[in-house]
Structure 1
Amino acid sequence: MLAILGPGAVGGLLGAALHRAGEDVVVVARPASARRILAEGIQVRSELFGEFTAMVPVTTALPAGSAVVLAVKAYGLPDVLPQLAAARPSEVLALLNGLGHAEALGEIPGARCGSVQVEAAREDGVVIHRGRFLIVNVPADADGRIAAALRRSGVDVRVRGTEQDVLWAKYSFLAPTALLTSWADLPLGEALARDPDVARGVVDEVAAVATADGHPTTSDELDALLRRLPATMMSSLQHDVRAGGPTELEAIGGHLIVLGERHGVPVPTLERVVDDLRSRLAA
């Protein structure tokens, strides 16, 4: 059995796609969410999969020995770790943002960290999937049962080197995208144009931290990548900041500042952007 732990926008989309493809899948949710999913299913509006409702089986307890897709927000990881450890899963593929969760999951046998590239949000209980891409990246040693099931469900699964390779490949562009769209509270194209000095500073500093952490990245390459993304893209961090939290700000932005300090890389622009967002959330 496959279990989706955390059926939010990403987890809900994956769970619905797996169920529609006939996979043996269950979603694991908190009681209120479980009651809603039991009554209404997971409603999806997707440019890739179309519009449908998946009546996915739901539970509040992780089935023992299941293969687990971990799709909680980074700030929710401490709450689910005891349940995850107690269930002794056969396999775990974590799709959290950032880098810091890899260390915490190191104590769970069979847990590997991947990443997901998708623009999805949950709006009024409906999973809205924008764009025609849904890519799950897995390290070479995690191309197993979960990856196979995702492929069968129509997900583009790609194998990319080591766990850190996979995490940094996303983190390097997720961090500037999430931080700039949230700071400007604008879609990516407008956020990049609003204050070019801040945008370039964030890109330069993310590239410098990535390089110092063992994943060589140039500012020009990263800037070009951001400008190839849809100009209308908005980030989940942006949506969460608008709502007043909780957010993944510390997992995405705060961790970059920690890494900068660890490697002796100055990150004044990142500090300014993260501090501004912290102040906005505290207001």
Structure 2
Amino acid sequence: MDDGTVFAVVGPGAVGGLFAWLLKRAGHEVVAVGRPATVEAIRRDGIEVRSEQFGSGVERVRAETEVPAGAGVILATKAYGLDDVLPGIVVARPSEMISFLNGVEHMAPLRAALPGVPVAGASVAVSALRASMTVIDHRSPFVRIEAPEAAAGSASVRALTGAGPSVRVGGTEAEVLWAKFRLLASLALLTSYWRQPAGTALSEDPELTEAVVAEVVACSVAEGVPASELDLVRTLRSVPGGMRTSLQEDLAAGAPSELDAIGGALQRVGERHAIPTPALTRILTALGSNV
């Protein structure tokens, strides 16, 4: 039920567009905030979602290029898009913000830019593809959101909980972000390195896979988030063998990517804590990273 909060979904791509569609369908006032071409397309066609879990249809979502003043912001851009959208968010002085960016380095700049605004980092597990600017194929039979205990009272978390996704609230923000980041980093870097789907990429060179897992876990532990190599390996083995990652697809297409937010971030953690990361360096060098 609408509690009067206006929710601004910044970055109405596959994930953000799905969030906007679900919130609108649940009766909330939603604004999709994007680039001019995206805004024009959404104004013209609405947002269409095709989903076995939620059904299919079009929602006429309001679309703007600027964040409405005082809105509750749901940030769903790619990590490299943060610098472009943050000034507009700051000007709007949002009532709160929930970030779904990948990685672990974005929370400090968000809080620094928004003093006094409740800001929380969350994660989402979902497979969704934007077939066009306004059409989203929701492919996984789930949308699983993890939010820290500190965000339990967030209007955005309450609204998303009632809109259809499975929402779990608990733990610290670092625990929530690193839980996803450990899996994402290992999978995205190896699939990108081998240019193969998950099953092949994880088995191509067992020693390299083991080394990447060890370095990722060491970085997590050094940042105060306990983890085990065995648990990460088990999680990686549960990933569908044919899965490809967005980092892999973006690099193959020569498009902007989250390589720095994923691999670069891990290298920087390693440097801060004097953790050797030769496997990560090997992969980043091969992928052309200058971090």
Common fold: TM-score over 0.5: yes
Q: Which structure 2 segments of 5+ residues have no match?
A: 1-5
Please list the CA deviations of residues 127-186 of structure 1 after superposition, one character each: whole Å capped at 9, or x if unmatched: 222211211111111122111110111011111211111111111111111111222222
Q: Does 2:132 align with 1:127? A: no
2:147 matches 1:142 = no
SS of 1:27's partner is: strand
**Aligned residue pairs, count:** 280
SS of the counterpart of 2:80? Answer: helix
Cα deviation, residue 65, structure 1: 0.3
1:1-283 map, 5 Å: 1-107=6-112, 108=114, 109-125=117-133, 126-143=135-152, 144-278=154-288
Determine the C-alpha separation between the residues in 2 that align with 1:252 and 1:187: 18
Question: 1:64 aligns to what SS in structure 2?
Answer: coil
Distance 2:194 2:131 in 1: 21
Which secondary structure does the structure 2 equivalent of 1:232 belong to?
Answer: coil
User: What RMSD over aligned residues (CA atoms) do the two structures have, in Å?
Assistant: 1.5
The offset of 1:17, in angstroms, is: 1.1
Q: SS where residue 103 of structure 1 aligns?
A: helix
Q: Secondary structure at the match of 2:143?
A: strand
Shift, 1:67, TM fit: 0.5
Q: Which moves more between the two structures, 158-167 or 2-11?
A: 158-167
Q: Is the 8 A contact 1:68 1:92 kept in 2?
A: yes
Q: Partners in 1 of 2:214 and 2:131 — Cα distance?
A: 34
Regions of 4+ moved over 6 Å: none
Secondary structure of 1:278's counterpart equals: coil
**Conserved 8 A contact 1:17-1:154:** yes
Provide Cα deviations, 1:201-231, integer angstroms capped at 9, x if missing partner. 1111111111111112121111011111222
- TM-score under structure 1 length normalisation: 0.95
Once the two structures are aligned, what percentage of the paired residues are identical?
46
